[in-house]
Structure 1
Amino acid sequence: MEVSPLCVILVKSDSKGDRLLFRYPFQNCENKEILNKSRRNPYTLPIVEDLLQSPTVSSSNISKGVLVGFSDEVLSSLFAVKPDLSNRKFELKVNDVRFVSHPTSLQLRNKQSHKDESGLMLINIVFSLSALASHSVVKCYHDLSERIGIILRHEEKRRGYVSEQTQTMMAAHDDGYTNNNGSAFRVILEKCTLANNIKKLYEDLCSSGLVSIRLNRWIPFSFCLPQKAHQWHLRGKIVEPEDIDRCLLALRPYHSLLLLYPVEHLVDFTALDGSPSLVRMLSQYSPMKNLQTLAADSDLTLSHVFQLTAHLVYWAKATVIFPVCSKNKYVIAPNASIHLNSPLMEKYSMSFKGGNLMRALNEFSLPTSLGQKTNPLCYPSQQSALVKSIIWMLQHHLLVQLHTYIQYMPTGNGLSTSRSFKKYLKTPSPRTSSVLSTSFPEPSRTESESGASTVSEAPDFMRNFNLENVSFTSTEDDKQEYQEELLLDFPDDERSQIFKIPATNTPEDLKLFARLCRKGYFQGSHHVEEIMYLENLRRSQLLQLLDKFRDVLVTYETEDPAIAMFSSSCS
């Protein structure tokens, strides 16, 4: 799907009538000759092999990515809308072209008085798109037209900028009216700054999707078309704004920020943004810091760091990863561009002084952790070079990180089908009667100190007990009774399988296992790093638990969906 505009059109309407002032790109003689090539002689008949079938007439108004087939007069009459339609969204579909704009009415002002007696002028900056453009693309272009209209209204009120520019354009059209080959538009480009802004706007939208212009050489204007801006680093993938919003909602304090450009290359971007907190955060930036640590080092709130991260991600200046550390496990991305003629080969050798990208990627043909590639006896410079190489490959989406997920499998067929805990509540033992009479809240949501972490609800048979504070004696009978009470809400066949595990003889391990199982962490939707953060556990503590209960816990490795959304390997 092509998201670049076909043409940008400027139309005005006032008491003197309506007129198309400027369009870019504009048609020249060669374009018109191509359009009229098939109709040079009005008396010729089309040659067809089958006279019973009428020839197909092409109704396309798109030729080589440019709008064709519309004269200036037709476009002027289409987009010089009535005042009732001003300051509202305007959308029109003609054949395979869709026109989107936001007509803006402004009060004219001359140099002698505050308000011109001629009244109002309607300015309409129209973007022509392919009719197949998605709703989100149309919405972005409408927003762009509306924002430009607001700036033009302000500049007209401040110094009569629009009146000055339109008079110059009208004079150019009047002088070159007899020579209808686009010469008036060339003159307008030489004399009008507004026309040059429209040209720069069109070129930025078609090239990178990042617009950076200065209207009237005074007001800085920036705009991001995410469907285009993210294509360069995701190799042609269309990223919708809704996808970015969904990804940013999945941000957690244990995630990290990965800039796609060096920090020193973002000076112009931070200057245009004008946010001192963004400069402060970038000064403390490191891909080995999580967002919580970055917020503390930058002396910013975590919520504000989330907002700045969202800003950088939306503008295709950064992506989201897990902090680079020795425990991370990486593997080559499924669709990594690693052929011999890839431009990344030369780019990698220039970044790492003759390094070979294929040799570096070969180290991650199988899932490999960073700690396995570092030698404690090697020099720190060698370790630093390896970390920089991994960061470079992450920036170019050549590697993906694998996380360990856990699935509770108590039986050979998965979870038990008889998950009714009510029968265990009918005749409670004397030891548990006082415990079961106490009400406990459902652990359906676990809030971190940032308030951004969410845990999915566990099944009903796992959400009704919280026996962590139960005390027990050292006798074997009491110990066995305590174990039964701790797993009282588990079905019989599952409890029998769990009691076969030697680790159930250790109360602390059994208590931790039951707690994590009831909270739904063993349903394959939470990876090890997330469980560590939400439950404040050490990695060694959790890995030991997985090893002790490996008979009923199955582990597998895959990408974090929240991070995979920012990579080109996601669907």
Structure 2
Amino acid sequence: MEVSPLCVILVKSDSKGDRLLFRYPFVHYESPETLSKTKRNPYALPTAEDLLQTSVVPISTISKRGLTGFSDEVLSSLFAVKNDLCNRKFELKVNDVRFVSHPTQLQLRNKQTEKDDTGIMLINIVFSLSALASHSVVKCYHDLSKRIGIILRHEEKRCGYISEQTQTMMAAHDDSCTNNNGAAFEVILQKCTLAANIKKLYEDLCSTGLVNIRLNSWIPLSFCLPQKAHQWHLKGKLVEPEDIDRCLLALRPYHSLLLLHPVQHLINFTSLDSSPSLVQMLSQYSPMKNLQKLAKDSDLSLKHVFELTAHLVYWAKATVIFPVCSKNNYTIASDAPISLRSGLIDMYSTFFPGGNLIRALSEFSLPTSLGQITNPLCNPSPEPDLIKSIIWMLQHHLLVQLHTYVQYMPTDNGISSTKCSRQYVKTPPRTSSVLSTSFPEPSRTESESGTSTVSEAQDFPKHFALESITFASTDDDKHNYQEELLHDFPTEESTQIFKIPATNNPEDLKLFARLCRKGYFQGNHHLEEIMYLENLPRSQLLQLLDKFRDVLVTYETEDPAIAMFSSSSYL
């Protein structure tokens, strides 16, 4: 689906009447009669149906040159709306074109008296789109038109900018002696900065979807069309704002930020209207740091780092990953362009002299961790070149990270259908607000004094205390504590669990029962999330899964919270 605008139109209406002042791109107008004549076969014979009933065939108003089939007079009549439709969303569909705008009223300023006493003018910046444009695309263009209207109203009040520009445009139209308004538009484009801004706006929307201009060389206008902006790094995928919101709402402190451009490029790009805290965060950036560590190093609050991360992701300048470390499992993406004719092969060789992309990817034909590639006897930590290679392949979406999920399967048919009184405790939802002032906190014990940290490599504090329980050594007492810990489990399930030797250890059984009650073993939480929420070390969690492997099934897949940036099947 094409999301670029067909045309940008500027219409005014005041006491002197309404008029189309400028449109870009401007093409020669051809009437429907002319188009119908040129498309009609002169040798075609009329059929009986044509003689009995003449049907009007809709004529497309979209061509390679942009919007056609509408004269300037028709467009000015359509968009010079009444006062009742001002300062609100305006949407009109004509044949295969949809027009979207936000008509704005402004008080004209008299430069001689410096008072707003010359009347009221309607200014309407209209975007023409394909009629098939989605609701989210229409919403984005309406927001852009509204923001432009607010800026123009401010500039008119400050220095009479609109009055000056409209007078110049009207003079150019009056001086034009030809029916082809393209000549007048050429003059307007040379003399009026507003027309030049509209041209730049249109070109940016069609090329990158990112707009960074200054209207009247004074007020910055920054806008991102995410459906277009993300296409450069997600080839063939249409990313809707709702998809980005789902990802951002699932952000956790253990996630990390992966920039898609060099840091200096982002600093230069955001210099137009950048936040000092953004530059401060980028100075401490590393894909091997999680967001909590990045916030600490940048001396910023975690909430503010989340906000800056959301900004970079929305503007297609970064994606969300897990911190690159030796325990991460990677495999080749299902849609990775690994053909020998792929341009990425030459790019990889340029970035890594002497390197071969196909050979580097072959290491991950099966899910493989960096620790498995590195020889622990020669070099216990991954080599810097290997880390850089992994980061490069993640930036180009050649690799995906797999996470381990756990499914509770106490019987051959899964969870028992027997009704029981067990109530799962709801864990913090994956869609908690990224801008909220509180985040899901890991479980803590009294011995930890309320402190908890998340390390760079997802190796969480290796201490976890369970409440001390004293049991007698007799078989009856052993059976009693087992029954007590699993009192709310169905009999069919508890019977299978009691067959596991690990139930002889009360601490292991208590931890298993607690995690099961909280719903961590329903396939909705991967190991890293369980470790964070319950403050568990990886080694203890892996040992527990191994001890109860008779009733727990593990499998590896992508994290759906961030899979939109790597898996084509997710969108």
Distance 1:375 1:234 in 2: 34
Q: How does 1:274-313 map to 2 (within 5 A)?
A: 274-313=274-313
Total equivalences in the alignment: 539
Name the CA distance, whole Å, in 1 between partners of 2:38 and 2:489.
86
Cα drift, residue 476 of structure 1: 3.6
Q: Counterpart amino acid of 1:133? A: A
Residue of structure 1 in register with 2:490 after alignment: 491
2:239: which partner in 1? Answer: 239
Q: Please tell me the root mean square deviation across aligned C-alpha atoms, in Å.
A: 2.6
d(CA) in 2 for partners of 1:528 and 1:333? 21
Give the match for residue 47 of structure 1.
44
Q: Which runs of 5+ in 1 are unaligned?
A: 423-440, 456-466
Q: Which residue of 1 aligns with 2:534?
A: 535
Amino acid at match of 1:452: F
The answer for the alignment partner of 2:320 in structure 1 is: 320
Q: Which residue of 1 aligns with 2:418?
A: 418
Q: CA deviation at 1:473?
A: 2.8
More off after superposition, 214-223 vs 559-568: 559-568
Identify the residue that residue 425 of structure 1 maps to in structure 2: none
- Displacement of 1:216 in angstroms is 0.7
| Letter aligned with residue 451 of structure 1 | S
In the aligned structure 1, how far is the partner of 2:145 from the partner of 2:137?
13
Residue deviations 1:137-193 (CA, integer Å, cap 9, x gap) = 111111100100111111111111111111111111111143525111011111111
Distance 2:382 2:485 in 1: 50
2:552 aligns with 553
- Between 199-208 and 151-160, report the one with greater CA deviation: 151-160
1:162 corresponds to which residue?
162
Q: Deviations over 1:439-495 (max 9, x none)?
A: xx973245999733399xxxxxxxxxxx95654234443223212211121122212
Which deviations, in whole Å up to 9, do the C-alpha atoms of 1:245-278 show, x marking residues without a partner? Answer: 1211111111111111111111123323421111
Q: Report the alpha carbon displacement of residue 567 of structure 1 after superposing the two structures with TM.
A: 2.5
Contact 1:101 1:146 survives alignment (8 Å): yes
Distance in 2 (alpha carbons) for counterparts of 1:369 and 1:196: 53
Tell me the amino acid that sits aligned with residue 531 of structure 1: I
Aligned amino acid, residue 356 of structure 1: N
Q: Is the 2:424–2:519 Cα contact (8 Å) retained in structure 1?
A: no
Correspondence for 2:479: 480
Q: Give the aligned partner of residue 517 of structure 1.
A: 516
Q: CA deviation at 1:304?
A: 1.2
Q: Distance in 1 between matches of 2:416 and 2:468?
A: 27
| Distance in 1 (alpha carbons) for counterparts of 2:528 and 2:346 | 35
Alpha-carbon offset, residue 566 of structure 1: 2.7
Give distance in 2, aligned partners of 1:322 and 1:134.
Answer: 32
Distance 1:191 1:568, change over 3 A: farther
Could you tell me which residue of structure 1 aligns to residue 459 of structure 2?
none
Give, in angstroms, the shift of residue 236 of structure 1: 2.4
The change in CA–CA distance for 1:65 and 1:365 in structure 2 (over 3 A counts) is farther
Q: Is the 8 A contact 1:15 1:118 kept in 2?
A: no
Structure-2 separation of matches of 1:278 and 1:59? 50
Shift of 1:384: 0.7
Give the counterpart letter for 1:443 in structure 2: V
Do the aligned residues in 2 keep the contact of 1:445 with 1:454 (CA within 8 Å)? Answer: no
The amino acid of 1:247's aligned partner reads C
TM-score (norm 1): 0.89
TM-superposed deviation, 1:111: 2.1
Q: Partner of 2:383: helix, strand, or coil?
A: helix
Distance in 2 between residues matched to 1:380 and 1:161, nearest whole Å = 66
Report the equivalent of 2:224: 224
CA contact (8 A) 1:11 1:125 kept: yes
Out of 61-70 and 386-395, give the one that drifted further: 61-70
**SS in structure 2 opposite 1:221?**
strand
- Relative to the length of structure 2, the TM-score reads 0.89
Q: How does 1:110-509 map to 2 (within 5 A)?
A: 110-115=110-115, 117-376=117-376, 383-421=383-421, 443-445=425-427, 451-453=438-440, 470-509=469-508
Q: Distance in 2 between matches of 1:518 and 1:181?
A: 73
Partner of 2:232: helix, strand, or coil? coil
